[in-house]
Amino acid sequence: MPKYEEPLFRPPAEAGSLIFQVARGCPHNTCRFCGMYKGVRYALRDPEETLAEFAHTAGLYPEARRIFLADGDVMQLPFATLEAYLTALNSFFPRLNRVNVYANGSSILAKNAEQLAELRRLKLNTLYLGFESGSQKVLDLVSKGEKVDAMVDAVRLAQKCGLRASVMILLGLGGKIYSAEHARLTAAALNRMQPRLLSALRFVEVPGTVMFDGFETLSEYEAVSELRDIVAGLEMTKTVFRANHTSNPVPLEGRLPHNKAELLRTLGSQLESGDLDKNGPGFTPLFL
């Protein structure tokens, strides 16, 4: 087995992937809403040790087709390192089909189009990007350290180079005060971005998160209402949309634009049902 150091996170879609931890923690680790790597000091794994682990694991799982490279924002590794790791994985795993990673907008834009296309040729496939909000004010308040326009450009460039962007937004990230702005500007930015995969998760306070002054958590009803406003504002041309993470009060999934009216009907029925908590967040999972 590869060597892991806890905590180890991966997107739900990577449940069946072979995982290698090529770095520890997150190189940014500033986001107020994220408790994933708080307390973990960011460090790269030794490249020789990592390559030896690839070779050893290939002997155990020679048929592996999907690989996820952890931890946070692996796209931030220098191009030469990513190229070397992908080249090695291609040679050790003859049936390799795709390699996926977490990425930030700035780390994608630190590579040029030729480099991104070369990484794609080496089977880098899906970039999981936490976009969170299309409101720069909200991003700044939660110390995301990224620009809305840069993340839009990054996704467009990555997709133009053949990579697939799986973009996450966070319902309730602006709290009550910025909810309307968060919904309106997130939909507008997503329309410019046109991600192939879009997931809406709900912000839930977890240990390690300290939100900005004046932040008030949305009630369950308000979170669903915010999602309805975002979906209503989306003009996607070809996007798989999911809001089925355990943090979402109403599990949803559909293709946009095809299922937009249906998604809005479901959200409207939930809002009218009287089942949603209007005074508090309702059921919230213990982790995001």
- List interacting residues with ligand SF4 (CB under 6 A): 26, 28-29, 31, 34, 36-37, 72-73, 104, 130
Helix (H, G, I), strand (E, B) or coil at 174: coil
Q: Nearer to ligand SF4 by C-beta: 170 or 250?
A: 170
Structural element, H or E, at residue 224: helix 220-233
Minimum Å gap between C-beta 111 and ligand SF4 is 17
Using the minimum distance from each CB to ligand SF4, give the nearer residue, 53 or 73: 73
Q: ω before 7 within 30° of 0 (cis)?
A: yes
Nearer to ligand SF4, 125 or 143 (CB): 143
| C-beta of 11 vs 233, nearer to ligand SF4 | 11
Of 138, 212, 216, the closest CA to residue 176 belongs to 216
Q: Is 78 exposed, middle or buried (0-12, 13-18, 19+ CB in 10 A)?
A: exposed
User: Between 31 and 82, whose beta carbon lies closer to ligand SF4?
Assistant: 31
CB 266 to ligand SF4: min, Å = 28
**CA pseudo-torsion sign 122, 123, 125, 127:** negative
Q: Which residues pair with 166 in a beta bridge?
A: 128, 197
Amino acid identity at 69: L
User: Is 244 exposed, middle or buried (CB count within 10 Å of its CB: 0-12, 13-18, 19+)?
Assistant: middle
